[in-house]
Structure 1
Amino acid sequence: MAIQVILHIDDDPEDCELFQEALKAVSDAEYHAIHDAFKALTILKSGSILPEIIFLDLNMPRMDGREFLEAIQDDERLKKIPVIVLSTSDVRGMMHQTKGLHASAYLTKPTDYDMFKEVLKQKLAAYVGAGNARTDDRFA
């Protein structure tokens, strides 16, 4: 069973475009991009989009990724959705900080299209039906 609905929260339209192109190459999932974490939270709480997995940028204006992770913990339905945190940095302290905020995994944003495709393929396969209990090996 493949993941059917993916939400990508990132304020950079170019990153969203690269993500969407790489995703199309490896999955038939319905893709939603929202460029503002606060707006994404509002939409998720309304139930109009119910993703099976969320890819979340950390560094955004208004509400950053950390604040978003904290906010979804107040909603029983939303806190069960696996959230993979995306960032341009690969700082171990940040990985542990996001894990403490119930991120399912941490991923340094690949800048190469082929690498992005491969990483997405691996992550989607790892989270099929896994729920929020699954954590990435990078946290072990």
Structure 2
Amino acid sequence: MPGFENMRAIEILMVEDNPGDVRLTREAFKDGRVWNRLHVVEDGLAALDFLHRRPPFDDAPRPDIILLDLNLPRMDGREVLAHIKADEALRIIPVVVLTTSQAEEDVLRAYHLNANCYVTKPVDLEQFIRIVQAIEDFWFTVVRLPPSSSP
């Protein structure tokens, strides 16, 4: 990308098992204003392996932000969130819960587990892309993210 020679890409870890949502998110970030690299894992155990740089993610970058679905195979997003926020080295990474659940108990539990924000995925495709771009605008251009030093 021209003009990005001296900039570091924003590293995004997306924990999502729905290929359609992954594809839409990639499209939204590709059209965005911030240079980023989207890494995708499909379940909670793979997310923890990525974050702890366990095989096959030995060379994984430390994410600047995590987009986390709640309803995942093998280990759900609530367990992943609890693990991240209980880990001294990981807890400063912002976690955006991006899920289809509108249940109040899921919202409350996510915030009790120290999620940084909770966003319900819209069903409409155009609205989904707008939501992802709004996340990008807020988290990558308004908010100052913590430095991405290695844990």
- TM-score (normalised: structure 2): 0.77
Change (3 A) 1:38 1:83: same
State the match for 1:19 in structure 2.
Answer: 25
Unaligned 5+ segments in structure 2 are 1-6, 54-58, 147-151
Matching residue's letter, 2:38: Y
Q: Which runs of 4+ in 1 moved over 6 A?
A: none
TM-superposition CA deviations, 1:21-70 (whole Å, max 9, x none): 12212243111111121111111112622111110010112100000011
What's the % identity of the aligned pairs? 37
Q: How big is the shift at 1:123?
A: 1.7
User: How many aligned residue pairs are there?
Assistant: 132
- Structure 2 residue 91 is the aligned partner of structure 1 residue 91: no
> SS state of the match for residue 48, structure 1?
coil
> SS state of the match for residue 52, structure 2?
helix
State the match for 1:136 in structure 2.
Answer: none
Which structure shows the higher helix fraction? 1
CA RMSD of aligned residues (A): 2.2
> SS state of the match for residue 5, structure 1?
strand
Change (3 A) 1:3 1:107: farther
- Structure 2 residue 79 is the aligned partner of structure 1 residue 67: yes
Q: How big is the shift at 1:3?
A: 6.6
Unaligned 5+ segments in structure 1 are 133-140
State the match for 2:128 in structure 1.
Answer: 116
> SS state of the match for residue 39, structure 2?
strand
> SS state of the match for residue 115, structure 1?
helix
Give the stretch that moved more between structures: 58-67 or 113-122: 113-122
Larger CA Rg, structure 1 vs 2: 2
Rounded Cα–Cα distance in structure 1 between residues aligned with 2:8 and 2:84: 24
State the match for 2:114 in structure 1.
Answer: 102
State the match for 1:34 in structure 2.
Answer: 41
Q: How big is the shift at 1:110?
A: 2.2
Q: How big is the shift at 1:131?
A: 4.3
Matching residue's letter, 2:35: D
Change (3 A) 1:29 1:23: same
State the match for 2:16 in structure 1.
Answer: 10
State the match for 1:127 in structure 2.
Answer: 139
> SS state of the match for residue 31, structure 2?
helix
